[in-house]
């Protein structure tokens, strides 16, 4: 384990479940005092910071408010590309299991009943949606530029074996839009008006599928969602839902 301090936060570079999944992760926590809340950050697949460093700056800033964060590395499709229906169903389940292991590690370092949020971008938001459905004890979540259906990602951009309709049907029970329909907690969806990969109607349907009415925000960005306004908005949402106080100014 490697450990360093940055702006009042400790950053530990660890391996979770070394005898099993062996998940590389950052654990970010306040350098002093006990954490008051936790956040699980699940990263995106893209052209920059396409790994567990994506949300590291945000986790460091939130540590100043008493937040402990875990930022695990993703596996599907970063290291394991989609191939066929049976393999991809198994790999989606593996991804959700890895997210759950990271969530367990987060909870282990928090006081009892501390509020916990999930923040996921792109594929991180997709597997995160399934985790939200399976672990109902979380407090809130932010889903950023996440696609509501796995096949809508995998079919256009990977060479897959088998009939495309059979493939979509096989993955449908694990689609994020199906999972989110069972999630009854405060949700913030953030999407881009210029996202090449996700149609606006797909984004609207995803947000409207949530069991509780969700907040839906649009930004002048692309799929990378590099927007200061989006970051400020989700920080304000997390502060409010985790009971961290309202930002000054």
pTM: 0.96
Q: What is the pLDDT of residue 246?
A: 58
Q: Which pair of tokens denotes residue 228? A: 């200061």
- Whether the per-residue pLDDT at 248 is higher than 70: the answer is no
State the pLDDT at residue 47: 86
Residues belonging to the chain:
249
For residues 111 and 34, is the Cβ–Cβ distance under 8 A? yes
The dotted CATH code for 2-239 is 3.40.50.1820
Give percent above pLDDT 90 in the chain.
Answer: 91
Q: Contact, 165 vs 190, CB < 8 A?
A: no
Model confidence at 178: pLDDT above 70: yes
What distance lies between CA 56 and its chain's CA centroid? 13
> Is residue 6 very low, low, confident or very high in pLDDT (cuts 50, 70, 90)?
confident
Beta bridge partners of 40: 70, 118
Instruction: Determine if the peptide bond prior to 154 is cis (ω within 30°).
Output: no
Portion of the chain with pLDDT greater than 70, in percent: 98
> For the stretch 152-168, what's the b/e string if a residue is b when 16 or more beta carbons lie within 10 angstroms of its beta carbon?
bbbbeeeebeeeeeebb
Residue 66 contacts residue 47 (beta carbons within 8 Å): no
Which among 236, 85, 50 is positioned nearest to 155, based on CA atoms? Answer: 85
Q: Are 131 and 53 in contact (CB under 8 A)?
A: no
Coil, helix or strand at residue 25: strand
């Amino acid at each position: 384990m490697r450990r360093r301090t940055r702006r009042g936060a400790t950053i530990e570079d660890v391996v979770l479940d070394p005898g099993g999944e062996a998940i590389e992760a950052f654990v970010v926590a306040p350098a002093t005092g006990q954490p008051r809340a936790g956040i699980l950050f699940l990263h995106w697949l893209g052209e920059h910071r396409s790994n567990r460093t994506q949300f590291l700056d945000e986790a460091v800033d939130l540590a100043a408010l008493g937040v402990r964060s875990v930022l695990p590395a993703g596996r599907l499709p970063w290291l394991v590309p989609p191939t066929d229906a049976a393999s991809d169903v198994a790999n989606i389940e593996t991804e959700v299991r890895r997210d759950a292991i990271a969530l367990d590690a987060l909870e282990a370092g928090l006081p009892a009943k501390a509020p916990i949020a999930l923040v996921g971008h792109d594929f991180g938001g997709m597997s995160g949606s399934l985790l939200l459905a399976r672990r109902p004890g979380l407090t809130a979540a932010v889903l950023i530029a996440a696609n509501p259906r796995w096949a809508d990602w995998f079919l256009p951009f990977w060479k897959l074996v088998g009939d495309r309709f059979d493939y979509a049907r096989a993955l449908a029970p694990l689609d994020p839009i199906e999972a989110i329909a069972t999630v009854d907690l405060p949700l913030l969806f953030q999407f881009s008006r210029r996202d090449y990969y996700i149609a606006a109607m797909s984004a609207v349907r995803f947000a409207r599928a949530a069991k509780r009415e969700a907040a839906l925000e649009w930004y002048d960005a692309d799929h990378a969602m590099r927007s200061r306004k989006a970051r400020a908005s989700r920080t304000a949402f997390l502060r409010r839902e985790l009971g961290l106080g309202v930002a000054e100014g």
